[in-house]
Amino acid sequence: MTVVIQEQSIEADSPAPGRMLTVTLNGKRQRVHIEDRQLLVDVLRGNLGLTGTHVGCYNGDCGACTLRIDGRVAKSCLILAASVDGSDIVTIEGFGNGQLDPLQQALWESDAFQCGFCVPGHLFALDDLLNNNPEPTDKEIRDALIGNLCRCTGYMNLVAATHEAAARRRCSAPCDKYERDDSEV
């Protein structure tokens, strides 16, 4: 039996189609060259070095890649970077404008996380909840976290911390009751 192997021509590596992406990222205008096929989370982490946006699944299931685009929370593993040209993006590096937001502080004080992998996504989901609902119930908090998974801690402390953060945000400044005593740290 004769086996005929057909010759195939394989094109030399050619650069993937790309473009310049321009966004406002954490308050600053940013231009970066991307490949058309790149996901937003990969551009943030790989091209721009913003590794606070995490990847747990690339599937839209875990919520670790959650951030804010044009004022709305989104999962950046489900979004092509090319589709957000011109957008205003906030990652965890820009959360709270460089200071600990009451929500971050409440999570920290309530032992609401262990490894911290889920925290960036949780913060955006809970921030969105509190922006729209300043006094949520337990159920509303749990519902808001339905797309964000934590493998370490469970959710009881997260719920408690969210109530605490909601109270702090409602409290008109200065609110001495909620000021943290740094001498204990």
Binding mask 116-145 for ligand FES (x = CB under 6 A): xxx---------------------------
- HSE-CB for 135 with a 13 A CA cutoff: 3
Residue 178 is a binding residue for ligand FES (CB under 6 A): no
Residue 36 is a binding residue for ligand FES (CB under 6 A): no
Residue 73 is a binding residue for ligand FES (CB under 6 A): no
Structure tokens at 151: 């493998």
Residue 151 is a binding residue for ligand FES (CB under 6 A): yes
Minimum separation from the CB atom of position 84 to ligand FES (A): 15
**CB closer to ligand FES, 126 vs 150:** 150
Structure tokens at 181: 């005593």
Minimum separation from the CB atom of position 101 to ligand FES (A): 18
Complete DSSP assignment for 83-121: GGTT-EEE-GGGGGGGS--HHHHHHHHTT--SS-TTHHH
Q: Residue type at 109?
A: E
Structure tokens at 171: 């409290």
Minimum separation from the CB atom of position 114 to ligand FES (A): 4
